[in-house]
Amino acid sequence: MITIRLVTFEDLELITNMGRRTFIEAFAHLNNPVHFNAYLNSHHVLEAVEIEFNNPKNQFYIAEVDFKPAGLCKLVLNENEGHPKLQKYTCLELERIYVLKQFQGRGIGNYLFKKAEEIGRDNNFEILWLGVWEKNLKAIEIYKKWGFSVFATHIFDLGGDLQTDLMMKKHLTV
Ligand SMILES: CC(C)(COP(=O)(O)OP(=O)(O)OC[C@H]1O[C@@H](n2cnc3c(N)ncnc32)[C@H](O)[C@@H]1OP(=O)(O)O)[C@@H](O)C(=O)NCCC(=O)NCCS
């Protein structure tokens, strides 16, 4: 049974560890360790996650399988990065969607995405969008399956390594 719930203050250590673990499992072997560790130790740490949690623009959700933590996502309300192709719309960003390796391929990502879509529609956001590393081909394929399409690129600073992210969007009002 998969359930999704809003993250509370008591969950912050848990989601920090989940995010850290998934980030390492998915990306450590593809990056220079100096840049990777710089990013990991500035962003995937409790103090940083707590600051994000305390910002009312952000909402974190956790997915559980039979009450065991399996995945998480972060939504950023009213975020468009000032991008000209987003500016005229109300936008919801799906900033982080992570499923622990042992739970991947079991529909949990799909549940988290559906939750993001539901929140977007219920709150009259016109666009759901995300940024994904151009080398994360698996995630790009999955996002296309979910109805996202590439509309731009932006630079993502991974601890001093400037990487290209594809920006992908899905219109929620059509
Ligand atoms: C990307 C990620 C969130 C997807 O979550 P998941 O739980 O593994 O995905 P699901 O099991 O819900 O599968 C989603 C769909 O993608 C399909 N899929 C799974 N693996 C795939 C692959 N390698 N290529 C293409 N499609 C794939 C599934 O068949 C499913 O399609 P369906 O809904 O039509 O059945 C997860 O794999 C993950 O956390 N990866 C590591 C971190 C990461 O890259 N996050 C994204 C950062 S932008």
Distance 140 CA to ligand 1 centre (A): 9
User: For the stretch 38-49, what's the b/e string if a residue is b when 16 or more beta carbons lie within 10 angstroms of its beta carbon?
Assistant: bbbeebbeeeeb
| 10 within a domain of the structure (yes/no) | yes
For the beta sheet containing 149-158, the strands, ordered from the edge strand earlier in sequence to the opposite edge, are 2-6, 58-65, 68-77, 91-99, 127-133, 161-171, 149-158
For 19-60, write each residue's pLDDT tens digit. Answer: 999 999 999 999 999 999 999 999 999 999 999 999 999 999
Residue 109 has pLDDT above 80, yes or no: yes
Query: What is the domain extent for residue 39?
Result: 2-129
| CA 79/CA 70 separation, integer angstroms | 26
Residue 144: its pLDDT value, please? 98
pLDDT above 90: residue 174:
no
Q: Answer whether residue 109 is part of any domain.
A: yes
Residue 112 has pLDDT above 90, yes or no: yes
Q: Domain for residue 159, yes or no?
A: no
Share of the chain above pLDDT 90, in %: 99
- pTM, full prediction: 0.96
pLDDT of residue 9: 98
Tell me what the mean pLDDT of segment 118-136 comes to.
Answer: 98
**Which of 134, 140, 142, 168 maximizes ligand 1 atoms within 8 Å of its Cβ, making it the mutation to test the pocket?**
142
Residue 47 lies in a domain: yes
Q: Which residue, by CA, sits nearest to atom 26 of ligand 1?
A: 142
Number of domains in the chain: 1
Q: What is the mean pLDDT of residues 148-164?
A: 98
Query: Atom 27, ligand 1: which residue's CA is nearest?
Result: 142
- Output the CA 88–ligand 1 centroid distance in Å: 30
Q: What is the pLDDT of residue 100?
A: 98
Q: Are strands 127-133 and 91-99 parallel, antiparallel or unpaired?
A: parallel
The answer to whether residue 118 is domain-embedded is yes
pLDDT score, position 153: 97
Choosing from 15, 40, 99 the residue with most ligand 1 atoms within 8 A of its CB, the one to mutate for a pocket test is 99
Q: Tell me, what CATH number does 56's domain have?
A: 3.40.630.30
pLDDT at 124 over 90: yes
Instruction: Identify whether 30 is part of a domain.
Output: yes
Mean pLDDT of 88-116: 97
Strands (E), the chain: 2-6, 58-65, 68-77, 91-99, 127-133, 149-158, 161-171
Instruction: Identify the pLDDT of residue 26.
Output: 96
* Residue 92 belongs to a domain: yes
